[in-house]
Structure 1
Amino acid sequence: MKKKQILLINDMAGYGKVATAAMLPILSYMGHPTYNLPTALVSNTLDYGKFNILETTEYIKGVFPVWRELGFSFDAIATGFMASETQARIIAAYCREQAENGTVVYVDPIMGDEGKLYNGVTDEAIKSMREMVSVAHLVFPNYTEACYLTDSQYDAAGVTAEGARRLLDSLLKLGTKSALITSIRVDGQPSVVGYNHVNGEYFTQPYTEIPVHFPGTGDIFSAVLIGYLLGGKELKPSTRKAMDVVYKLIDLNKDNTDKNRGIPLEKYLDVL
């Protein structure tokens, strides 16, 4: 089967395996021709507490006309961190245009975690991320992001199975065809919940937490998930595979001294 071409629209860290730096090696290893458009250049993972960031909106404004003129197209686009509301609007318009020509759009609405927005994420940014969700074939926020996108109340204790389904339905109302919610406690059990529009199935995939923190694990999850979806696998088994890979990689690296740089993926690509 011919491998699918995918464009990653996300930030690029100079030091650390997060965002594009984490996703590109995984998707390439899985055989998909992978291209990238950085939304921002970041000196290092934010977990170090000090960083330098360069927003690339002006650069992006000049890229899309060139790509249109050259006739470039992609089978899929995966979006992540948006550096500004203006940038999100430009990228959403491009994704909508490409989707009309058959491109599948995956959206990771990176905005916050553990009930809080990341520093610098504004109400306008939430609105612009909703616009990204409106053009998505599949969106996969974490529990915090799902609550902000849908104006739902965040509860640190999690939700019931019925509450998880309501939250998924609220995401679908924003325009996405299918949806996942990661890092959500369902009846006390850490889980990923989902809805697959292809077969109308709601599902819950429980997992066991390893009590260590690595930046970039969400990006690893995204890349593995997308890699299997592009290979023709269904959403539920692709989700389980991505969860299992993340668990194994965390387990293999849980004793690393400097966790802030993320997981050194190149050593462990055979886990895929």
Structure 2
Amino acid sequence: MKILTVHSLAVHGTASLKAIQSMLGTRILPVPSVYLSGLTNIPGVVKTDVAFKEVLTSTLEVARARNEQIVWFVGYLGDPQQAETIRELYQEYRDISLGMVVDPVCGDHGKMYVPEEILQAWPRLLEVADWALPNFTELKFLSGHPDLSISEPGPYLEQFQAKYPDLSFIVTSLDNGKLMTLELHSPNGSQTFKHERIEAQYDGTGDVFAAAFILYFYYLKTAPAVAMEQAALTTMHTIRNSRMRDSDDLVIPGTMQMY
């Protein structure tokens, strides 16, 4: 089994494809949605488009020829048309596809940081995905709720579930003061996990969480709630390790990094 990973590839910073590959290694089939000279919050970053449909289609053809079974993971979209391309190819290659996990990257800390067209494209993938991993800001924007000033997640959760009744999802970054809460919702019920808040801000923590969740759920076959808890603990450990090293970027030990 391989994880077909559609995400941005940034040169500077630790996030997106770099973070996922550091976590999952050769388990992934990386397909860049866009090339960036650095993370989008770094001044002067240059964006370079890719031949996305051609690369993704060829990757899937090779996977089929090699009898690979794949789980799709979709993160940052380079343009809104990519959502439609992914949806079409997901249906075309269902014979080798075990499921789809999406991290609907569009915002954080109460603000949207992608064009409106990208936000409007995400429902096309949320309609066919098995799992979604939005943070609280993304839940707000994607719920379609008209009032984005509500501090409690309840109204957004209700509207999001009504829009995507068959989707299982985990909402991250629910701030409860000294604690952070994750909420797992699925057609089978809901569960929560609370952990201490770490006073540190790093890009890429959502990617670490997603990679760890995929590892525990799809590879180690743990229950969803266990995978959520272990992914949260892995993310906390990564943040602590990065802070201990006084690093500006996340420090994710690779397979050859033994110290």
Whole-angstrom CA distance in 1 between matches of 2:47 and 2:255: 28
Partner of 2:133: 140
Whole-angstrom CA distance in 1 between matches of 2:193 and 2:149: 20
Whole-angstrom CA distance in 1 between matches of 2:241 and 2:128: 37
> Is 2:75 aligned against 1:80?
yes
Partner of 1:196: 186
Aligned residue identity for 1:185:
D
The answer to which structure has the higher strand fraction is 2
Partner of 1:27: 24
Classify 1:97/1:243 alpha carbon distance in 2 versus 1 (closer, same or farther; 3 Å): same
The structural deviation recorded for 1:269 is: 7.9
Whole-angstrom CA distance in 1 between matches of 2:99 and 2:46: 32
Mapped contact 2:31–2:56 kept (Cα < 8 A): no
> Is 2:244 aligned against 1:251?
no
> Is 2:200 aligned against 1:212?
yes
The structural deviation recorded for 1:176 is: 4.8
- Give deviations 1:128-169, integer Å, cap 9, x for gaps: 11111111000111011111111123347434xxx17x6066
Mapped contact 2:3–2:72 kept (Cα < 8 A): yes
Mapped contact 1:146–1:171 kept (Cα < 8 A): no
Identity of aligned residues (%): 20
Whole-angstrom CA distance in 2 between matches of 1:168 and 1:75: 31
Partner of 2:11: 14
The structural deviation recorded for 1:103 is: 2.3
- Give deviations 1:179-230, integer Å, cap 9, x for gaps: 1111123699521101234xx1201111211111111111000000001111
Aligned residue identity for 2:207:
D
Q: Equivalences for 1:167-186 in 2 at 5 Å?
A: 167=157, 170-171=160-161, 173-174=163-164, 176-185=166-175
Whole-angstrom CA distance in 2 between matches of 1:173 and 1:16: 34
Mapped contact 1:229–1:238 kept (Cα < 8 A): yes
Q: Which runs of 5+ in 2 are unaligned?
A: none
Partner of 2:86: 91
CA RMSD of aligned residues (A): 2.6
The structural deviation recorded for 1:115 is: 1.3
Aligned residue identity for 1:144:
T
Partner of 2:52: 60
> Is 2:218 aligned against 1:234?
no
Whole-angstrom CA distance in 1 between matches of 2:142 and 2:236: 27
Q: Secondary structure at the match of 1:77?
A: strand
Partner of 1:225: 213
- Give deviations 1:13-52, integer Å, cap 9, x for gaps: 1222211100112112xxx632110001111223433311
The structural deviation recorded for 1:87 is: 1.7
Q: Which runs of 5+ in 1 are unaligned?
A: none
Q: Equivalences for 1:112-131 in 2 at 5 Å?
A: 112-118=107-113, 120-122=114-116, 124-131=117-124
- Give deviations 1:49-86, integer Å, cap 9, x for gaps: 33111122xx1222244345543554201000001111
TM, length-normalised to structure 1: 0.83
Whole-angstrom CA distance in 2 between matches of 1:80 and 1:18: 11
Whole-angstrom CA distance in 2 between matches of 1:190 and 1:139: 19
Mapped contact 1:194–1:204 kept (Cα < 8 A): yes
Classify 1:92/1:186 alpha carbon distance in 2 versus 1 (closer, same or farther; 3 Å): farther
Whole-angstrom CA distance in 2 between matches of 1:186 and 1:95: 37
> Is 2:35 aligned against 1:46?
no
